[in-house]
């Protein structure tokens, strides 16, 4: 089965018979191997291979697939938007909104909220970090390897750690999550598949698809963070209303905003 797990995209759509032919064994052997590995059946194995293919995807693969869809250049922009809509719809159908409320409670109870993510996911980290700061919540972000290791080294039982990474996941984010959990912090992950190391090592995890026609799409993860921010904003309404009145005053009259001369 090693070739199957090393190149899941080549095998995920094959029937039991076709997979057996490629591996040069009989169909019964494939079924028995799947059962011995803990899969409830061949369809369960296929589902795992699908998730594995997603986790191993690179920026090149969606581009190669999308190039075969339509020859018109305008179609690629339309397909990208359509894919974003599908991702958000999948998130909307699968998300358990009560878990968002529970996360908001943990955010308000935490001594510190440590946000981990690097590379392109650092944009998601900074988005959430900025909004938590507006609400005067004790948010700290780490987007480099050094920041992540130094920050999570001091994590403790009163801290909440939220780690964001997708596909195979950045080593710095996974290792920071592991270190924080080992120190007793409560850990939450945001990733795109249940076989992600973020999902395996966090106490709880939220899944948001990132499939795209080119590169990776953050439409669904950003929508998830927007839902978390909105829930936090309304969680302690009176407190946050008082805070946002001051924010609104600065937004109306603050010197950092452009004014016509």
What does the pLDDT look like over 22-48, one tens digit per residue? 888 888 888 888 888 888 888 888 888
The count of other CB atoms within 10 Å of the CB of residue 73 is 7
What is the reported pLDDT for 47? 81
Q: Residues 23-31: contacts with CB within 8 Å, 24+ apart? A: none
Are 23 and 30 spatial neighbours (Cβ–Cβ below 8 Å)?
A: yes
* Position 230 confidence tier, pLDDT thresholds 50, 70, 90: very high
In 45-198 the beta strands, taken as DSSP E runs, fall at 112-116, 139-142, 159-164, 186-191
pTM of the predicted model as reported, rounded to 2 decimal places: 0.83
Partnered with residue 188 across adjacent β-strands are 162, 204
Which residue reads 């130094």 in tokens?
Answer: 150
Q: What is the CATH number of domain 2-55?
A: 1.10.10.10
pLDDT-above-90 percentage for the chain: 62
Are 17 and 27 spatial neighbours (Cβ–Cβ below 8 Å)?
A: yes
* Position 79 confidence tier, pLDDT thresholds 50, 70, 90: confident
Domain residues of the chain, as ranges? Answer: 2-55, 95-250
Are 159 and 111 spatial neighbours (Cβ–Cβ below 8 Å)?
A: yes
What is the reported pLDDT for 188? 98
Bigger pLDDT: 57 vs 251: 251
In the β-sheet with 159-164, what is the strand arrangement from edge to edge?
A: 139-142, 112-116, 159-164, 186-191, 204-207
Q: What is the CATH number of domain 95-250?
A: 3.40.50.10490
The arithmetic mean of pLDDT across residues 156-176, rounded, is 96
Q: Is 66 exposed, middle or buried (0-12, 13-18, 19+ CB in 10 A)?
A: middle
Residue 4 to residue 18: CA distance in whole angstroms: 12
pLDDT at 17 > cutoff 90: no
């Amino acid at each position: 089965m090693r070739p199957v797990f090393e190149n899941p995209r080549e095998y995920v759509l094959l029937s039991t018979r076709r997979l057996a032919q490629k591996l040069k064994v009989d169909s019964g052997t494939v079924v028995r191997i799947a059962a011995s590995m803990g899969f409830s059946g061949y369809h369960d194995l296929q589902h795992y291979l699908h998730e594995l293919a997603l986790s191993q995807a690179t920026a090149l693969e969606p581009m190669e697939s999308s190039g075969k869809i339509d020859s018109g250049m305008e179609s690629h922009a339309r397909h990208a938007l359509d894919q974003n809509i599908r991702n958000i719809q999948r998130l909307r159908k699968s998300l358990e909104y009560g878990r968002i409320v529970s996360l908001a409670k943990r955010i308000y109870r935490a001594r510190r909220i440590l946000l981990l993510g690097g590379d392109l996911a650092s944009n998601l980290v900074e988005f959430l970090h900025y909004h938590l700061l507006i609400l005067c919540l004790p948010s700290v972000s780490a987007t480099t390897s050094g920041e992540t290791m130094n920050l999570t080294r001091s994590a403790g039982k009163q801290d909440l750690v939220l780690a964001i990474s997708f596909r195979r996941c950045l080593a710095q984010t996974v290792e920071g999550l592991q270190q924080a959990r080992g120190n007793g912090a409560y850990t939450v992950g945001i990733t795109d598949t249940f076989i992600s190391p973020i999902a395996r090592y966090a106490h709880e995890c939220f899944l948001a698809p990132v499939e795209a026609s080119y590169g990776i799409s953050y439409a669904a993860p950003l929508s998830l963070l927007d839902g978390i921010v909105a829930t936090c904003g309304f969680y302690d309404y009176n407190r946050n209303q008082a805070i946002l009145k001051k924010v609104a005053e600065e937004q109306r009259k603050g010197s950092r905003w452009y004014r016509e001369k």
